Amino acid sequence: MLSKNIEVALNKQIRIEAESSQIYLSMACWAEVNGLEGISQFMYAQSDEERLHMLKLIKYVNERGGHAQITELNAPKTSYETFKGMFEELYKHEIFVSNSINELVHITFQEKDYATHNFLQWYVAEQIEEEATAKTILDKINLIGDDKGGLYLFDRDIQQIAVTAGTVAAPK
């Protein structure tokens, strides 16, 4: 059985994951209308992944005797000056999500809820991967600079990341 405090904290994380999905969906739309097909496919895949993270939390809360709450979401930004700026925002957002997960883990320690602590370890590992991917992408973008040929190749190459991400099994 979840404590009320942990249930509230998990519901906050559910909202964060839902908003993450919306942010990446909005980024996908912006990339798509700006002719960045590979980037848009990557962002669509990221959006789907964040939704799966949300669903995993929802199932956990409900299975542990809590009640997952679906709330209104903040509207995401709909346009970006540059694709580099968009990826900088993605990286900052992933750091924000990591900090939120870490705070959640801290609460489980305080409350001695080791089952939830154990459940959250998947999210801790996932965030390490998400931050590393975002940082690697930013590093590649910085290498490209203003080279249009480099942008073309980057857009094509990032499709492979999206394809690989899309083949990952959905969390249970």
Q: What is the pLDDT of residues 15-32, one digit of tens each?
A: 999 999 999 999 999 999
- The model's confidence at residue 167, banded by pLDDT at 50, 70 and 90, is very low
Task: Report the distance separating Cα 94 and Cα 100, nearest Å.
Answer: 10
Decide: pTM greater than 0.85. Answer: yes
Which residues fall within 8 angstroms of residue 5, CB to CB, at 6 or more apart? 107, 111
In 3D, which of 92, 74, 96, 95 has the Cα closest to residue 84? 92
pLDDT of residue 54: 98
pLDDT of residue 45: 95
Cα of first residue to Cα of last residue in the chain, in angstroms, is: 20
- The model's confidence at residue 164, banded by pLDDT at 50, 70 and 90, is low
Which tokens sit at 168? Answer: 């990952």
pLDDT of residue 162: 59
Determine if residue 50 is labeled as part of a ligand binding site: yes
- The model's confidence at residue 172, banded by pLDDT at 50, 70 and 90, is very low
Determine if residue 72 is labeled as part of a ligand binding site: no
Task: Report the distance separating Cα 163 and Cα 37, nearest Å.
Answer: 13
pLDDT of residue 82: 93
pLDDT at 160 exceeding the cut of 80 = no
User: Which domains are assigned to the chain?
Assistant: 4-166 (1.20.1260.10)
Determine if residue 17 is labeled as part of a ligand binding site: yes
| Eight-class DSSP state of 36 | -
pLDDT in tens, 35-93: 999 999 999 999 999 999 999 999 999 999 999 999 999 999 999 999 999 999 999 99
Determine if residue 32 is labeled as part of a ligand binding site: no
pLDDT in tens, 94-149: 999 999 999 999 999 999 999 999 999 999 999 999 999 999 999 999 999 888 88
pLDDT of residue 1: 92
Determine if residue 127 is labeled as part of a ligand binding site: yes
Which tokens sit at 14? Answer: 């559910």
